[in-house]
Amino acid sequence: MTFRELNIKDAYEFTPRQFGDDRGVFFEWFKSSAFTEAVGHELELQQANCSVSAAGVLRGIHFTDTPPGQAKYVTCVKGAFLDVIVDLRVGSPTFGQWDSVLIDDVDRRAVYLSEGLGHAILSLEDGSTVMYLCSIEYTPTLDRDVNPLDTGLGIDWPTLARDGSPLEYQLSDKDRAAPSLAQAIEAGYLPTFDG
């Protein structure tokens, strides 16, 4: 397994070695020792999620009140997603910036984002399936959002699906009504950066 640090502090991309033959393919999509070596700490796991999306489904930008925060380790087991990480930690040197990774069923990359970072995924083909490990269980009272289409963030969302057809973004009512980054700053509910 190889890794690289993303442009956002405390976010990483992991690429597994794949072993294939005429029967199929095998790979380790998460390995604690490789993760700890790359990131510098263990990932305590308390929940695992699976989400299946049609092409154009845009989920996020989601984050959890910090503390306690929720770290995530995300991979795509079928189809393709653009995985976007946004630094929402006030005081961070990369505050308000974003980075992205194509996670798909070809390279089988995984993305890790630490507590306090925002997360969004855009499905690039029908039936795309993402699985992610979480450091804490989902707690609705801690759940927060920033609008993924906020022009102030300037996220470069793809306009074409994996097959080249145009994408029509589909957001939940909750995500569509989420505040902009500026509104979240004004409301004072963003996490802070602790170095």
- Has 138 been annotated as catalytic? no
Mind listing the pLDDT tens digit for each residue in 58-112?
999 999 999 999 999 999 999 999 999 999 999 999 999 999 999 999 999 999 9
Domains assigned to the chain: 2-187 (2.60.120.10)
Closest residue by Cα to residue 159 from 55, 78, 43, 10: 55
> Cβ of 3: how many Cβ atoms within 10 Å?
16
User: What 3-state DSSP class applies to 128?
Assistant: strand
The contacts of residue 33 (CB under 8 Å, 6+ apart) are: none
Task: Identify whether 132 is a catalytic site residue.
Answer: yes
What is the spatial distance between Cα 64 and Cα 71, in angstroms, rounded to a whole number? 9
Among the options 12, 41, 62, 73, which is catalytic?
Answer: 62
Phi, psi of 173 (to 5 degrees): -60, -40
Whether the predicted pLDDT of 195 surpasses 70: no
pTM for this prediction? 0.96
Annotated catalytic residue, options 12, 73, 112, 132? 132
Q: How far apart are CA 174 and CA 71, in angstroms?
A: 21
Sheet strands side by side (includes 117-123): 98-104, 80-87, 117-123, 58-64, 143-145
Write out pLDDT tens, residues 123-171: 999 999 999 999 999 999 999 999 999 999 999 999 999 999 999 999 9
Query: How far apart are alpha carbons 74 and 61 in whole angstroms?
Result: 14
